[in-house]
């Protein structure tokens, strides 16, 4: 395939950015989207141009680093229309002659560092505000010392699959990170080990979410449509129930 990519180029946090077009010939449909960018970057480097900065690590949908907006959709959209990570998007989802727009996450709490790379430190600070449990150090406890009901374990595991990619924020018209925050609150709040800090956790994490400048959730649902891990919308309802309970009855 011969394709054209129009990429957001921005040399630094304070610099003005703009879309720049590149022709990319002989793209194999078996390439991942990031491999296509690798090939383009090799050429730019050989020609003495600055390669396009983009974030990535695992390239198998685990680390959450590779977020970019492709043709207006966070992470792009695979042929199957199933939400994916950018690293798991393949060029077979595009056609010969396509023009593909590639932009960074657009949200004030995720400032652009360079080109397609944004600073997602705001997510780390939300985690620091409550995403932990108090656990005594020492010998590992017996596996069955704290029995967990199967349904709670399953829901906690599902919430724990959130990879902190930020697609939910990029897709939300309010720039809300409620799906991410709710996943982290739910993951620990459903387990017996997470009970001692359950109330302070939800209050602290939601407070930090707002401090970082993320918007509020108004039940639009764009977040779940792009979440590569299928974190369900009801996770936000669970956060709201926990938050209300903590605010009405902070002591127990
Ligand atoms: S909730 Fe989904 S979209 Fe949001 S950060 Fe977690 S994995 Fe990414
Ligand atoms: S590079 Fe790790 S999720 Fe894409």
Assess whether 131 and 68 both reside in one domain.
Answer: no
Residue 81, pLDDT > 80, answer no
Residue 183 alpha carbon to ligand 1 centre in Å: 8
Say if 114 falls within a structural domain.
Answer: no
pLDDT, average across residues 78-88: 86
pLDDT, average across residues 49-71: 97
Residue 122, pLDDT > 70, answer yes
**Banded pLDDT at 161 (limits 50, 70, 90):** very high
Residue 114, pLDDT > 70, answer yes
Ligand 1 pocket, residues with Cβ under 6 angstroms? 162-168, 179-180, 183, 227-229, 231
- Coil, strand or helix: which one is 88? helix
Which two structure tokens, joined as six digits, stand for 93? Answer: 């989802």
Ligand 2 pocket, residues with Cβ under 6 angstroms? 56-59, 61-66, 85-87
Cα separations in angstroms, 137 against 13, 113, 157, 196? 41, 38, 23, 16
Question: Which H or E run includes 169?
Answer: helix 167-171
Q: How many domains are there within the chain?
A: 2
Q: Which domain holds residue 220?
A: 120-135+147-248
190 Cβ contact list (under 8 Å, min separation 6): 152, 153, 155, 156, 159
Say if 108 falls within a structural domain.
Answer: no
**Banded pLDDT at 174 (limits 50, 70, 90):** very high
Assess whether 99 and 128 both reside in one domain.
Answer: no
Say if 219 falls within a structural domain.
Answer: yes
Residue 98, pLDDT > 80, answer yes
Assess whether 169 and 241 both reside in one domain.
Answer: yes
Smallest CA separation from ligand 1 atom 1, residue = 180
Assess whether 163 and 220 both reside in one domain.
Answer: yes
- Coil, strand or helix: which one is 18? strand
């Amino acid at each position: 395939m011969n394709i054209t990519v129009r990429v957001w180029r921005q040399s630094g946090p304070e610099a003005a950015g703009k879309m720049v077009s590149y022709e990319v010939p002989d793209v194999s449909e078996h390439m991942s989207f990031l491999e296509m960018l690798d090939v383009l970057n090799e050429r730019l480097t050989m020609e003495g141009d600055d390669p396009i900065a983009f974030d990535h690590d695992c390239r198998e949908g685990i680390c959450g680093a590779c977020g970019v907006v492709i043709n207006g959709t966070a992470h792009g959209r695979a042929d199957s229309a199933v939400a994916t990570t950018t690293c798991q998007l393949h060029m077979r989802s595009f056609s010969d002659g396509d023009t593909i727009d590639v932009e960074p996450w657009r949200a004030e709490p995720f400032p652009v560092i360079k080109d397609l790379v944004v600073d997602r430190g705001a997510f780390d600070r939300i985690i620091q505000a409550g995403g932990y449990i108090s656990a005594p150090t020492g010998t590992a406890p017996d596996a069955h010392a704290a029995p967990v009901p199967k349904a709670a374990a399953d829901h906690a595991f599902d919430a724990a699959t959130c990879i902190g990619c930020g697609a939910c924020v990029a897709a939300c018209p309010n720039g809300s990170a409620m799906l991410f925050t709710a996943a982290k609150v739910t993951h620990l709040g459903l387990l017996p080990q997470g009970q001692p800090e359950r109330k302070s956790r939800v209050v602290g994490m939601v407070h930090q979410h707002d401090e970082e400048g993320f918007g509020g959730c108004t039940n639009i649902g764009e977040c779940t449509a792009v979440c590569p891990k299928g974190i369900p919308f009801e996770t936000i309802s669970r956060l709201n129930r926990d938050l209300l309970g903590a605010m009405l009855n902070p002591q127990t």
